[in-house]
Structure formats: C-alpha cells, structure tokens
Amino acid sequence: MRCLQHRRASIYGSIKLYMGIKLEKVAITCAVTGAGDSVGRHPAIPVTPAQIADAAIEAAKAGAAIVHIHVRDPKTGKGGRDPAHFREVFDRIRSSDTDVIINLTAGMGGNMHRPYEDPNQPGPDHDLVTSEERFRHIDELRPEICTIDCGTMNFGADSIATNRRRDLVWMATRAKELGVKPELEIFDMGQMGHALELIAAGLIADPPMFQFCLGIAGGAPATTEAMQALRAMLPPKAHWAAFGISRHEFPMLMQAVLLGGHVRVGLEDNLYLEKGVFATNRTLVEKAVRILGEFGIQPMTPAETRAALGLRSRN
C-alpha cells in the first residue's frame, strides 16, 4: 500500500510539473444538505437545525475547511430560508469546539414556479422575494462567506431560479459593506460573464472566489472541457473550486485539483459514497481527504483557507 501511495504521488508530481500546477494543499468545502428533494431518497438527510449543525461539525472534524449551509423546514423537509433556522445552525456550530468557515447560502427566495398547465399562476414551490429579504440572514449573522448565484436558469420542469443583474449588484454591494466574502456560484459561461461584471465594477473584494457548479440540468455539464472553459475566463489571482453532482462528484474533484482548484463534496450534491452505499457528509469528506492524500495533497485548515481567501477573522 505504501509503495502504491508513493507511486501515485510520483505520478501526480509528474502531472503537476507538466501542467505547471504548484498547489500542494486544497480547501475542502462540504455542502451539508442543500434544498433539493433528497429527503425520502436518503435515510439520513440533515433537516433540523440541530442535524444540519451536527453534520457540519462532523464534516469539519473530518477535514472540511468550509461548510456550505442551507436550512430546511423541519416539518416538511423542504428547503427554506427562515433566519431563525440559520441562526440556530450558525450558533450551534460557533459554540462547538470545532473551527470551520461558515458559508451561508443566499440563493433561496429566487424561485419562480409556474406550472405548465397554467403558467400565469404561481405553483406551490413559488418563492420570489426581494434581494433584501433573501439577504436578511446574511445581514443578521454576517458569516465569513455567503453565496451569490450569478444568473438565471431552469431548475426542474416548472421552476426558474431567478437572479437578475439588479439582484446581483445589490447582493454584491451589501456583502462588501458587511465584510462578507461572496462565493460566486457559476452554473454556465453566461453567469461567468455576470460575475466578471461585478468584479469590474469594484463590487467584489480581492481575491475573488468562484465555485463552478457542474452537471445540473440547465447548466454546464460535468466535463473536463466545461471546467477548462470556465477556468480560462477567471480573472488574475482568483480562487476557485468546482464540483460535479451525483456520480460526477469525485471525478470532478480530481479534475479540479489537476487544474489548480479547490474542491467540494457533500450530501447537497451526491447521496452515495459508492454505488449502492449511502454516504454521510463525514464519509464524503473522509473519502475526499483519502483520495487527495494518495496523490500527496493535504487539506487546508480553516486558518490557512482564511489567509488564502483574505477572509476577515471569525471573531
């Protein structure tokens, strides 16, 4: 086993030399629960604030430097945006003895649900509110990182995730005022253009931080070519990570590392550790750490990640 690890490390070293990559450590993000319809498709999706916080703490102890947090309605399991739920998750993580960077989503509240049969009437999943309302928990909690989804796209048969330019400008401006680092969520090349406009306007503090979200229907595919195309559009000194959903999670993890990026895993993106075996957030992070370690790459600590991303102190 030790010889195999040395061999893999040597192979990876040769690849890094060939591609000009010098990244010896990467930051692992764990996306703990998301807002999708995974409840019922997995025996233990974190739903309550206590479950979400416990899963985040387990992921951090396994090696995640960042935890990406959605909340859910504890009664229905559907994705939510109640600031009280975000506060409970936030406070539970912060009161633990585990250091981790908290990344709160600001993506909820932009869902336009229009049933095909009557598109003039909002459907049951319609949740379209102002940018101010979508950002209320960010205002109250001021996490180290929050997400900004950089464009509008189809989600499912009848839903559209709406993010107008005016919304993006407002959220980027407010994040900068609060000292919160935006993670610019990129689902396709058009959204990359919107993100670059925010940077050109001076609304994103250096260094900018990108997350390439690959394999979602309606967005860029989980392929090497798509990741390379998005990477080629990055501004100088940008930090970036990428993930692929479902079975693409770990192939895209290694592809991101080979191209010089950070990585993301978690139950938001993928429910299985391997075919037929349900995962937990902890086991997904452990698998990421193990794979990276076999190629001589170490996970960054929260402190190292804060320094690299130019984050303000958690205090």
Note the pLDDT tens digit of each residue in 170-205: 999 999 999 999 999 999 999 999 999 999 999 999
For residues 314 and 60, the answer to whether their CB atoms sit within 8 Å is no
Highest mean pLDDT, choosing among 40-44, 51-55, 158-162: 51-55
103, β-bridge pairs: 68, 145
Give 183's contacts (C-beta < 8 A, 6+ positions apart).
68, 103, 145, 146, 147, 148, 209, 210, 211
For residues 32 and 46, the answer to whether their CB atoms sit within 8 Å is yes
DSSP 246: G
Question: At residue 124, what are phi and psi to the nearest 5 degrees?
Answer: -65, -25
- Position 13 scores a pLDDT of 60
Domains of the chain and any CATH numbers:
25-309 (3.20.20.70)
Q: Kindly report, residue by residue over 8-35, the tens digit of the pLDDT.
A: 656 656 655 555 455 689 999 999 999 9
Question: At residue 79, what are phi and psi to the nearest 5 degrees?
Answer: -60, 140
Question: At residue 102, what are phi and psi to the nearest 5 degrees?
Answer: -95, 125
